[in-house]
């Protein structure tokens, strides 16, 4: 009796199929379709079939009858056929024939094949489609009486009905090629036999519904590589790697030892976006492709963890690849972040010399010339790379993440020690990781030295320089003696800022002294009209990573704005300053109230200024009257609470339930105000994700904008407000027809 057990890789197999096994887990270059590739991967893991030493599988080559017998016997779960090698059934299958045991076992024990009427087996003759189907059907428990006595049509018809021949289209007398045989053997494992149970059950296999998060995970004991999954056991080793897309959900076939054998993906709709811009409700790719209306509760899977979109989107780096998987109804089912980790993966390079015009500097750094380049968080090209730019090259994704962020600061401290600086403390007490090549340079410096730090795109120190001119970065003064830089980093001084640098002032900043910010105003220059649609200014090009700062007015508070929020053209009178990088490309542009984003919007009120008289002692035993004057005060209420500003010109209005916009100067006073455009009778059906139909025009809603519930005085998320009410009033900074933006929403 043949012992059936879990199938193991048999050394004899490579000989039996006349193959030399290549490296484990090879993806065969000559298999054109995914279905056959999947089938072959499963049979590899079962030790039933393999490829050739040149990395090919040769799916079109025919199988002999002896080779197919071997496949059928191994598929049955046979471990050992030595008991069937000691006798002869067929005169052309003698004692020295390589497959004698398999042929004898297939004939005597399994009864899945027979010889020819002349008493021979003809082991080296190609097996036909009809013969292969018959053998597999008999392996599944079917006999002549189950399919009818008309051979081979009865077997072929029944095989088609139960799915055994799915994906294989051959005539009964056609020779069966290796690829088709693999497809049929694969089908047999998942096909129900005569008794109604799947053949995989008879082999002791189990199917697990999982989402595959990683293909190269490590088992808890550190001994095996395998699949990390959501669902099932969470980890499955494999004998040969499987062809699986990370993030896919499907059915994983597992053998009795817990090894992954095969993966059948679900029929999922998927979109893949490489992040160029990201917000709380949407993601945009470098080509403008966009996924909108992402629920904050959508699950995001990373290497082995999961979190809600609303909690993690802000930490997803530019250049990362997001795979969105959708339900049959078109809603987002879950999201897979294909490049997990706290830091961008890859080798760090620094451009040591200014690249020649028209010369791609990437090959000289050992980087693929066609690698996709992101610089300062946006899609760019190799022509945008400059001297001292720091690059991270991910050769797996073929992506370069570059930055020109370098800033002068004081070497305040090092951790764990100055001799081994894994981390450096600088820029007002901030800690930064130090890359290996920069550790030795930093160790040679003294605490208190003024250095210029070169950073990677994920804020690690890649190099340090001493001497030379100070390196400044553009920023905007915050109200707490600090500056927010264009990349989101905040640097803080120990004392008050110099006069003239009130909150909202656009500046160039660095920290060459401990606890002291060095601030320089952005010098105003004659404006030139901007062509944003073509990213040009005059005869010069605007870099794709240019920093745009928009002030609420001259001497008004400023905010960083995205170029996507700008009109196609910006008049010269609205351009306060343009700065250029080496190579003559504009990389910093200061605007005068182009977007309106620097204004504050909400329900406003004023408190008129008044005089107050007070009696005080005159020092001579009498009293004198002192008159004090209180300024006009403007109040604005929005989702951030109430803010109060001095309003010298009494510009603000007592608006009741009408929203206004206030422009605040860098001195903290109101410098301008304007009533918003009010639109009534907006319905919940007018909302769609982060857009709103206003007066027949689709407008964008800021991602963080909440809705004011008039009856309760609360601010809630848009989706919650839509459940609460079907009657809204929206306020735009100007009419929708003129490009107005939604600034305030009220639910009635």
- Look over the chain and give the mean of its residue pLDDT values, rounded to a whole number: 87
At residue 116, the pLDDT reads: 94
Question: With 0-12 CB in 10 A as exposed, 13-18 as middle and 19+ as buried, what is 149?
Answer: exposed
| Res 7: pLDDT | 32
Q: What is the largest CA-CA distance in the chain?
A: 143
The stretch 460-473 carries a mean pLDDT of: 93
**Residues 240 and 48 sit within 8 Å (Cβ to Cβ):** no
- Chain-centroid distance, C-alpha 651: 46
**Of the given ranges (225-239, 355-369, 601-615), which has the lowest mean pLDDT?**
601-615
Q: Would you give the end-to-end CA distance of the chain in angstroms?
A: 81
Give the confidence band of 506 by pLDDT, cuts at 50, 70, 90: very high
CB-based contacts of 186, cutoff 8 Å, min separation 6: 38, 39, 42, 43, 262
Contacts of 496 (CB under 8 A, 6+ apart): 481
Of 257-261, 323-327, 494-498, 683-687, the least confident = 494-498
Q: Is the pLDDT of residue 225 over 50?
A: yes
pLDDT at 16 over 60: no
CA distances from 200 to 165, 286, 391, 394, 631 (A): 17, 45, 50, 40, 84
Q: What is the DSSP string of 119-133?
A: S---TTSBPBHHHHH
pLDDT band at residue 5 under the 50/70/90 scheme: very low
Phi and psi at 329, nearest 5°, equal -85, 0
Torsion sign across C-alpha atoms 57, 61, 66, 68:
positive
Establish whether the linkage from the previous residue to 95 is cis, with ω within 30° of 0.
no
pLDDT band at 303 (very low <50, low <70, confident <90, very high): low
Mean pLDDT throughout 371-391?
91
User: Percent helix, strand, coil in the chain (nearest 5)?
Assistant: 15, 35, 45
The CA–CA distances, whole Å, from 243 to 19, 96, 154, 238, 405 equal: 22, 38, 35, 12, 40
Beta strand residue intervals within 238-293, DSSP E? 249-254, 260-265, 269-274, 277-278, 283-284, 290-291
Assess whether pLDDT exceeds 80 at residue 690: no
Q: What is the mean pLDDT of residues 26-43?
A: 79
Q: 267 pLDDT band (50/70/90 cuts)?
A: confident
In the predicted model, what is the mean pLDDT of residues 308-334?
86
Output the CA torsion sign for 200, 205, 208, 210: negative
Q: Give the residue-averaged pLDDT of 486-491.
A: 89
- Is residue 89 a contact partner of residue 83, using CB atoms and an 8 Å limit? no
Helix, coil or strand: residue 153: helix
Helix or strand run (H / E) with residue 693: strand 691-694
CB atoms near residue 663 (< 10 Å): 22
Q: How confident is the model at residue 595 (pLDDT cuts 50, 70, 90)?
A: very high
Q: Is the pLDDT of residue 9 over 50?
A: no
3-state secondary structure 583-646: CCCEEEEEEECCCCCCCEEEEEEEECCEEEEEEEECCCCCEEEEEEEECCEEEEEECCEEEEEE
Give the mean model confidence (pLDDT) for residues 440-447.
Answer: 92
**What per-residue confidence (pLDDT) applies to 620?**
84
Among 25-29, 113-117, 135-139, 146-150, name the one with the lowest average pLDDT: 25-29
Q: Is 588 exposed, middle or buried (0-12, 13-18, 19+ CB in 10 A)?
A: buried
Query: What b/e string do you get for 414-432 counting C-beta neighbours within 10 Å, with b at 16 or more?
Result: beeebeebebbbbbbebeb
- Please report the pLDDT score of residue 304 as a whole number: 65
What does the alpha-carbon distance between residue 407 and residue 430 come to, in Å, rounded to a whole number? 13
Q: Percent of the chain at pLDDT above 70?
A: 93
Residue 420's pLDDT is 87
HSE value, Cβ hemisphere, 13 Å, CA-based, for 582: 12
């Amino acid at each position: 009796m043949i012992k059936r057990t879990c199938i193991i890789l048999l050394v004899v197999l490579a000989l039996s199929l006349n193959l030399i096994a290549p490296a484990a887990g090879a993806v065969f270059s000559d298999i054109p379709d995914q279905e056959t590739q999947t089938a072959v991967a499963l049979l590899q893991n079962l030790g039933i079939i393999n490829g050739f030493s040149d990395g090919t599988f040769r799916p079109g080559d025919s199988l002999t009858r002896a080779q197919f017998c071997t496949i059928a016997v191994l598929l049955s779960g046979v471990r050992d056929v030595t008991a069937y090698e000691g006798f002869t059934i067929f005169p052309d299958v003698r004692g020295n024939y390589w497959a004698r045991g398999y042929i004898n076992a297939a004939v005597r024990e399994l009864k899945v094949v027979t010889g020819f009427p002349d008493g021979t087996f003809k082991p080296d003759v190609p097996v036909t489609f009809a013969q292969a189907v018959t053998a597999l059907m008999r392996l599944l428990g079917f006999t002549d009486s189950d399919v009818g006595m008309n051979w081979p049509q009865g077997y072929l018809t029944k095989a088609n009905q139960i799915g055994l021949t799915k994906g294989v289209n051959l005539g009964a007398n056609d020779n069966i090629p290796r690829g088709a045989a693999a497809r049929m053997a694969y089908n047999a494992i998942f096909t129900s036999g005569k008794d109604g149970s799947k053949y995989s059950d008879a082999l002791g296999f189990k199917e697990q519904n999982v989402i595959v998060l990683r293909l190269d995970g490590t088992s808890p004991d550190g001994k095996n590589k395998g699949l990390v999954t959501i669902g099932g056991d969470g980890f499955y080793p494999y004998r040969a790697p499987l062809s699986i897309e990370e993030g896919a959900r499907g059915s994983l076939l597992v053998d009795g030892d817990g090894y992954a054998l095969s993966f059948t993906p679900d029929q999922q709709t998927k979109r893949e976006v490489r992040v160029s811009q990201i917000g709380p409700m949407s993601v945009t790719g470098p080509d403008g492709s966009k996924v909108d209306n992402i629920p904050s509760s959508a699950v995001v899977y990373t290497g082995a963890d999961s979190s809600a979109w609303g909690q993690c989107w802000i930490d997803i780096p530019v250049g990362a690849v997001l795979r969105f998987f959708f339900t049959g109804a078109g809603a987002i089912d879950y999201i897979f972040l294909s490049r997990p980790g706290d830091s961008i993966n890859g080798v760090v390079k620094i451009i040591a010399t200014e690249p020649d015009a028209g010369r791609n500097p990437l090959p000289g750094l050992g980087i693929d010339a066609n690698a996709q380049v992101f610089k300062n968080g946006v899609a760019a090209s190799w022509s945008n790379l400059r001297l001292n730019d720091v690059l991270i090259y991910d050769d797996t994704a073929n992506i370069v993440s570059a930055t020109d962020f370098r800033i002068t600061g004081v070497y305040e401290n090092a951790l764990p020690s100055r001799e081994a600086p894994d981390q450096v403390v600088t820029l007002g007490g901030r800690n930064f990781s130090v890359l290996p090549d920069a550790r030795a340079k930093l160790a040679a410096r003294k605490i208190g030295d003024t250095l210029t730090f070169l950073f990677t795109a994920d804020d690690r120190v890649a190099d340090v320089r001493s001497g030379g001119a100070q390196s400044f970065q553009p920023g905007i003064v915050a109200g707490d003696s600090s500056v927010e830089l264009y990349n989101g980093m905040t640097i803080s001084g120990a004392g008050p800022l110099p006069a003239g640098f009130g909150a909202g002032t656009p500046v160039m900043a660095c920290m060459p002294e401990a606890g002291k910010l060095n601030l320089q105003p952005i010098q105003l220059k004659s404006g030139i009209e901007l062509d944003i649609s073509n990213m040009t200014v005059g005869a010069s090009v605007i870099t794709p990573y240019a920093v745009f700062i928009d002030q609420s007015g001259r001497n008004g508070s400023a905010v960083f704005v995205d170029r996507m929020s700008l009109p196609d053209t910006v008049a010269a009178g609205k351009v306060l300053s343009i700065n250029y990088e080496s190579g003559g490309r504009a990389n910093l542009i200061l605007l005068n109230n182009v977007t309106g984003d620097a204004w504050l919007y909400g329900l406003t009120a004023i408190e008129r200024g008044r005089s107050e008289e007070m009696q005080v002692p005159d020092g001579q035993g009498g009293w004198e009257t002192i008159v004090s004057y209180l300024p006009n005060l403007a109040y604005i209420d929005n989702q951030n609470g109430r803010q109060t500003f001095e309003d010298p010109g009494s510009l603000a209005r007592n608006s009741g339930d009408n929203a206004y916009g206030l422009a605040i100067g860098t001195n903290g006073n109101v410098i301008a105000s304007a009533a918003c455009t009010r639109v009534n009778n907006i319905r919940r059906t007018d909302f769609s994700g982060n857009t709103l139909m206003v007066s027949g025009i689709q407008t964008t809603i800021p991602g963080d904008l909440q809705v004011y519930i008039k009856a309760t005085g609360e601010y809630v998320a848009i989706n919650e407000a839509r459940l609460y009410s079907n009657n809204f009033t929206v306020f735009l900074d100007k009419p929708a027809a003129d490009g107005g933006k939604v600034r305030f929403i009220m639910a009635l």
